[in-house]
Structure 1
Amino acid sequence: MAESRTTPRPEFRNINALRDLPSYRLPAAGWVSILHRISGLLLFLLLPFIVWMFDASLSSELSFGVFASAFTAGIGFVPAWFVKLVVLALIWAFLHHLIAGLRHVYMDATHSVGKAFGKSSAVVTLVLSLGLTAALGAKLFGLY
């Protein structure tokens, strides 16, 4: 009988995060999945700020004035540019979470779990979420 000569598989016991992870190339679908989790966490953590913005914008004309002044004068010791930056992060988190969530629902409903569709839908998700964020961010910072 002939012996099978197979090369031994590499064995990874200790993965060094600083040395090994930067060289690992994550596919687009992996980035979308990780960013979907990050955007969900960001939306959850900033939920009190979202509720305050919603309440301040709808309660009365006076509270709307306070809400609007947060984008021009800031809130207390927090400057206006930082408030706009936080709102821009919320815009990105909402858009990315929404689009990636719709992608996941579509893939679950139609059983479209192929490698090609996963890559193309991930790229579309990233382009749409970043493009819409850039457009709304330009409006937020007064570029148009």
Structure 2
Amino acid sequence: MKKQRPVHLNLLTIRQPAAAISSILHRASGVIMLFAVVLLVWALAVSLQSAEGFATVHELFSGWFAKFIAWGILTALGYHILAGIRHMVMDMGYWEELNSGRISAITSFVLAIILSILAGVWLW
């Protein structure tokens, strides 16, 4: 009994649909925000301890790299909110067909890019 299964499956050659990519990115943005919460709670705790702690956090977050990290956090937050709204609408019974799911996924990508650009303009 020999099974005919692929020996080497190259995952880079498989083309995922937009809805699948949207779902995967929604999960990834949630993980990014989980780590971001740890960083932001630490910064809040240090800044509330004393005036020196506030000055330290202010100096730390005013650099170029910190603004880039903040931009990444805001981008993940914006996408996570948009994709979460998309998933909630799908849970209510709308956008469940293949075409409407693809359109809603692409729309969430475009809106996330616009929000990301706006966050970058706001930070810099």
TM-score class normalised by the smaller sequence: 0.7 to 0.9
Query: How far is the alpha carbon of 1:68 from its aligned partner?
Result: 2.9
In the alignment, structure 1 residue 24 sits paired with structure 2 residue 24: no
Residue of structure 2 equivalent to 1:13: 6
Report the RMSD for the aligned CA atoms in angstroms.
2.2
1:119 aligns with 2:106: no
Q: 1:52 to 1:118 in 2, by over 3 A?
A: same
Change (3 A) 1:132 1:30: same
Q: 1:47 aligns with which of 37, 58, 61?
A: 37
Q: Which has the higher contact order (CA 8 A, sep 6+)?
A: 2
Residue 4 of structure 1 corresponds to which residue in structure 2? none
Change (3 A) 1:106 1:44: same
SS in 1 for 2:92: helix
- Number of aligned residue pairs: 120
> Structure 1-normalised TM-score?
0.71
- Distance in 1 (alpha carbons) for counterparts of 2:46 and 2:112: 27
Partner of 2:68: 85
Q: Equivalences for 1:100-115 in 2 at 5 Å?
A: 100-115=83-98
Question: 2:91 corresponds to which letter in structure 1?
Answer: D
Q: Confirm or deny that 1:139 pairs with 2:116.
A: no
Q: In the alignment, is residue 33 of structure 1 matched against residue 23 of structure 2?
A: yes
Consecutive unaligned residues in structure 1, runs of 5 or more: 1-10, 73-79
Task: Map Cα deviations across residues 86-105 of structure 1 (whole Å, 9 max, x no partner).
Answer: 11111111111111111000
Q: Considering only CA atoms, is the larger Rg found in Structure 1 or Structure 2?
A: 1
Q: Which structure's residues are more often helix, by fraction?
A: 2
State TM-score, norm by structure 2.
0.81
